[in-house]
Structure 1
Amino acid sequence: MEYSAIAQRKQSQLWERIPPQWRLSPSQIPPGMHSPAESVANVQYDRVNVLDIPRSCGLLSAKELEITENWDVTGLLSQIHGLKLSAKEVVQAFCKRAAIAHQVTRCLTEPLFDSALQRAQELDDHLRRTGSPVGPIHGLPISVKDSFNIRGVDSSVGIAALALHPSEADAPLVSLLQSLGAIIITKTNVPQTMGALDSANHLFGRTLNPLNRQLTVGGSTGGEGALIALRGSMIGFGTDIGGSIRIPAMCNGLYGFKPSQGRVPYGGQTDGQPKAKGRVSIQAVAGPIARSVADIDAVMTHLIPRAQWFGEDCIPGAWPSPISSFGQRKPVTIGVLPTDGLVEPLPPITKVLNEVANALRRTPGVNVVEIPVPAALAKCQALAGRLMGVDGGLTMMDLLESTGEPLIPWLQGRTKRGRPLTLAQLAELQAQRGAIELELRRKLWALDSGNEQKIDAIIFPVAPHPVPELDRYNAVGYTSSFVLLDYPAGVVPVRKFNEGDLERGKEMAKPVLGSWDKANRELWNERTVDRTVYLNSPLSIQVITPKQHDYELYQAMDLIDRAIKTNRPKL
């Protein structure tokens, strides 16, 4: 079939899975909701914030609003396990809210509402019959990125050639979540090829940012970002190789957690890449996007100890970690890393990083130190990019060409058939990676003063710019570098971009560092952007810990989040 026919069929399937009584009236859908095909082009949207539509549309009852808005993960589970709420009424409330979220953002790909409600009923029957939940997260509504395989469901990842071919088995993470009692209610949208940082494809169209439709929702886990922001799921799972968990978290004012390799099962993905490519190049990881640090903890505490029994790519783990030294050394030392040395952060990014550093300086038991920018850090972005492209993109291009599917506009000129690397070339890249890993281990964590860790965690920008307009995300090295280095990295929202951040009439004076830096400054230059587009968008910071210090990352994010909230109004 030709790609447009497949797209039409997939969009019809999706719409049919939204019950008529859960559909918004045309008057409730914000103006300018272009067709999926039109949305892929960089059309002009307004700055409408749609976060209140689920509450104001009238489709959700008072109880459904309470269920979807009043609880964190731990609180909601206590209501279900204590028989104060049934899993079925909880799942129905979130399914309905997810359906509404989709109609204003295009965030879903595969609604699983019928199977989710059936599973919820089974869990309710079990709990009433036995008095015990199936598992520790029994009844928790969860969503997953489209790439995770679910038996009997497509994993098309925005590529027509992969559509209409249901998966034959569940991904290990899906099996793990279900064994714990979670209920997966939907899969969510991604960019074509999962190689862009704005979630647009020809199958489902562009997912829009619910905070401001002129700004990107991020990618490649962009559908999850929009859905969690609109409270259409309690927690979502995505993948991250270049920043695909952390970037949507930043763009939607959420918390993102990219673990080290081996902590959360990654296998069982459909991604249009050669099988096991990550084993020889650079390995993506799976992790959560949530509305709080506490929600991340509430789920990871059950995933980490069990992951090795589900994912062949996982190692034994514990949560809390018995080897964690975070907080045992007094004071806790947080390093401030201002830039990657390749792209200079725009003024509001430097400003918010300094605000967080100052909040930490006012926090008892915390020592804040400035980290000199290591020269090796600037090499990471290019090296990560080369490792991502070791196969020359041949498998992906074959898939696209098989249905005549064109690249989305942003990928045109950026994606093409290449030449696969030879074994000798790949070995050389991995040798360079090893040398950089060792150098940065010393310069970032020991401050080049010996073989003892001196820094507990680092704060760093998520990106060198605020949440940008559609298809204008720049400098992926701020996130991809920490996949290359295999450092756990998370995102914590700080505050909204305000009038004081605009600095009207003032441009950056520092010399341009190179082509990436030049492109980044176009997101601030008043001749190339209307800075007011950033008003009320979320400003976030990235938190990083050493390799395999995943529990310490949670601890650091919690400490930093509390310090921010002590000094800043809630986002």
Structure 2
Amino acid sequence: MATSAMTTMAPTSTWETKVLAKQQGAREKIPKEWFLPASLMQALKMPIAKHQNRVIDMDIPRKSGILTERELEITENYTVEELLSKLKSGHLSSLEVTVAFSKRAAMAQQLLSCLTETYFSEAQERARFLDDERAQGRIVGPLHGLPISIKDSFQVVGSAATIGFVSFMDNAVSDRNSALVDILLELGAVVYVKTNIPQTMMTADSHNNIFGRTLNPHNTSLTAGGSSGGEGALVAFRGSPLGSIRIPALCCGTYGFKPSASRVPFGGQASPVREGQSFFLPTAGPLANDLQALDVLCRSVMSARPALYDSTALDIPWRDLPKATPTKLRIGVLSEDPFLPLHPPVKRAVAEAVKLLEAQGHSIHTIPHLAAYMADSVALSLAFFGIDDAHPDHIAEGGEPPVPSVKQAGEAFAAISTPFLDDCANLTGISRLLALNIKREAIAEEWREMWKEQKLDAVIGPAAQHTAVPHDTFGLPPYTLLLNLLDASLHSSPR
């Protein structure tokens, strides 16, 4: 564990004793020969979360001597498609690729606290099996031999899915995999680590009292995002070729794709909310260092007929655009809500994207009434989240305190007041739920009408008001909430 980024404490209570035991167990699962030399750790400015350590620029994997030149090449020089091609041809073995990314993941953990569970020994055993299959002329699937990291909420047989709650540490270890994990294994992948998330999974800071705070490898004083911040940090550090989206992709400078709900199976995960809720359907999607990798993962998973593994998944294969697709598109722009101004780098990026699209001959159209959309989506999201009080209950049951970002999010929610929220405050039970659903349907209908009137093919806009910010300061993500409310498919690009 990266003790510099972890919560360090003397055990003064039951929950702290549990956490220390969990952290020690996780540390012991990292092979001793994969620990970074003290000289490299001492080169970091401490406390690490408060200083601008640009870990990626420090070239620690090469300086450590832990990775061979071939392992550095494997983890740094190939796209996912190139790795898969070399695995299929036998130019690379699954074992050497798995060991290479496992070593790098272990380094990332020591520096960034991005992991929750590791399966290094099991992953190497799985890789040997896949290499034996290939040697006999059998390719298990389109992801044959590729190591893939997954978010902590996914269940993996034999390990826990605490999702950052101390109270969940008493839950039994998983006796079955989440649907997506089973699909990845059947496609030939190697699952080797799970990654860190926020306490409650409802903030943009991947920080909890069990696994500590995940740090951004580009600048450790900035957030790695959430709720998949561990994935963002690990992929950016090149400790994983492919993981799981949007805010972590924005913060960590990777590509990400959020499909609409139920396209990638989400069933069988540990959840921070009570069962039976379907206000906002959660989604899973890929995060990677190259754009084509997103297509590889989505095409492979959706072609495996995920509805056979998960009753909530749609049985729709990945679709290629027909050749007759218009070469000139009508593109809407979420330019800027004046009440939610964009920071200069984000505003500049949107303007540059518009300029490039116009230069290609595409037609650009500003989305009308943006401020109204934003205000309504924030109010509605807060009203929906307010229905379920499971998050504070989970925290209280574990005897732990809320982490700063969770406490600040609660205060931000309480400070927002709109006529719609005021009206909802007077409603209870089914009446309140019906009012929320009616409002959401009204926003979706307005968006549909706008899309039709503008004859749009796509919409571009900011993933957030700003880029990565200091820890615990991300605040509400209104541009994200609007598109979540609409269950839109979204792509996040670093350039």
| TM-score, with structure 2 as normaliser | 0.89
Residue 472 of structure 1 is matched in structure 2 by 473
| Aligned residue in 2 for 1:145 | 151
Spell out, residue by residue over 1:311-350, the C-alpha distance to the aligned partner (whole angstroms, 9 max, x if none). Answer: 21111212224xx469612412222220246412123322
Residue in 1 aligned with 2:246?
246
Instruction: Kindly report the root-mean-square deviation, in angstroms, between the aligned alpha carbons of the 2 structures.
Output: 2.1
Task: Check the 8 A contact 2:207/2:213 in 1, yes or no.
Answer: yes
Residues in 2 aligned to 1:24 and 1:217: alpha-carbon distance in whole angstroms: 22
Which residue in 2 is equivalent to 1:529? none
Q: 1:187 aligns to what SS in structure 2? A: strand
Structure-to-structure mapping, 1:328-367, within 5 angstroms: 328-340=325-337, 342-363=339-360, 365-367=361-363
Of 105, 108, 111, the match for 1:98? 105
Corresponding residue to 1:26 among 38, 41, 51: 38
Counterpart residue number, 2:291: 293
1:83, distance to aligned residue in structure 2 (A): 1.1
- Determine which of 116, 119, 124 is the counterpart of 1:109: 116
Aligned 8 A contact 2:105 2:234 in 1 = yes
1:370 aligns with 2:366: yes
Q: 1:410 to 1:283 in 2, by over 3 A?
A: same
CA separation in 2, counterparts of 1:115 and 1:276? Answer: 34
Structure 1 CA distance for aligned equivalents of residues 176 and 447 of structure 2: 40
CA distance in 2, matches of 1:315, 1:31: 47
Alignment of 1:167-186 (within 5 A): 167-186=174-193
Which of the residues 218, 237, 240 maps onto 2:225? 218
2:451 matches 1:456: no
Distance 1:369 1:327 in 2: 23
- Which of the two has greater helix per residue? 2
Distance 2:45 2:406 in 1: 24
> Map of 1:358-437 to 2, 5 A cutoff?
358-363=355-360, 365-374=361-370, 375-391=372-388, 393=389, 395-412=390-407, 414-415=409-410, 422-437=429-444
- 1:176 deviates by 0.7
Measured in 1, the distance between the counterparts of 2:471 and 2:392 equals: 24
Whether contact under 8 Å (1:338, 1:373) holds in the other structure is no
Quote the residue 1:65 is aligned against. 72
Structure 1 partner of 2:127 = 120
Question: Residue type matched to 1:381 in 2?
Answer: V
Give the aligned residue type for 2:60: I
Pick aligned residue for 1:49 from 24, 44, 55:
55
Alpha-carbon spacing, 1:94–1:233, altered in 2? closer, same or farther (3 Å): same
Is 1:75 the counterpart of 2:82? The answer is yes
Report the 3-state secondary structure (helix = DSSP H, G, I; strand = E; otherwise coil) of the residue aligned with 2:299. Answer: helix
CA distance in 2: counterparts of 1:89 and 1:458, whole angstroms: 42
Structure 1 unaligned blocks of 5 or more: 238-244, 495-571
Contact 1:123–1:138 (CA under 8 A) maintained in structure 2: yes
| 1:367 Cα deviation after fit | 2.6
SS at match of 1:225: helix
- Aligned pairs (5 A) from 1:180-329: 180-237=187-244, 245-277=245-277, 279=278, 281-305=279-303, 306-321=305-320, 324=321, 328-329=325-326
- 1:74 aligned counterpart, secondary structure: helix
Residue 313 of structure 1 aligns to which amino acid in structure 2? T
Look up the equivalent residue of 2:462 and give its one-letter code: P
Q: CA deviation at 1:413?
A: 5.3
Query: CA 1:421–1:80 in 2, change beyond 3 Å: closer, same or farther?
Result: farther
Q: Which amino acid aligns with 2:319?
A: P
**Partner residue of 1:481?**
482
What do the CA deviations read for 1:56-89 (whole angstroms, capped 9, x no partner)? 2211000101111121111111111111111111
Specify whether residues 381 and 120 from structure 1 end up closer, same or farther in structure 2 by C-alpha distance, changes over 3 A only: same
In structure 1, distance between residues paired with 2:329 and 2:228? 32
Q: 1:9 to 1:304 in 2, by over 3 A?
A: same
Give how far 1:273 is off: 1.8
Taking only the aligned residue pairs, the percentage that are identical comes to: 38
Shift of 1:464: 1.1
Q: Which residue of 2 aligns with 1:515?
A: none
Alignment-derived partner of residue 418 in structure 2:
none
8 Å CA contact 1:158–1:190 kept in 2: the answer is yes
Query: What do residues 421-457 of structure 1 show as CA deviations (whole Å, max 9, x unaligned)?
Result: 51110111001100110001121x22x36xxxx1111
Matched residue, 2:5:
none
Contact 1:112 1:184 in 2 (8 A): yes
Provide, for residues 215-237 of structure 1, a one-character-per-residue CA deviation record: whole Å limited to 9, x for no partner. Answer: 11111100000000011111002
Other structure's SS at 1:458 match: strand
Return closer, same or farther for 1:77/1:33 CA change in 2, 3 Å cut-off: farther
Partners of 1:344 and 1:396 in 2: CA distance: 30
| 2:196–2:229 contact (8 Å) kept in structure 1 | yes
SS in 2 for 1:358: helix
Deviation, structure 1 residue 270: 0.9
Aligned partners of 2:445, 2:459: CA distance in 1, in Å? 17
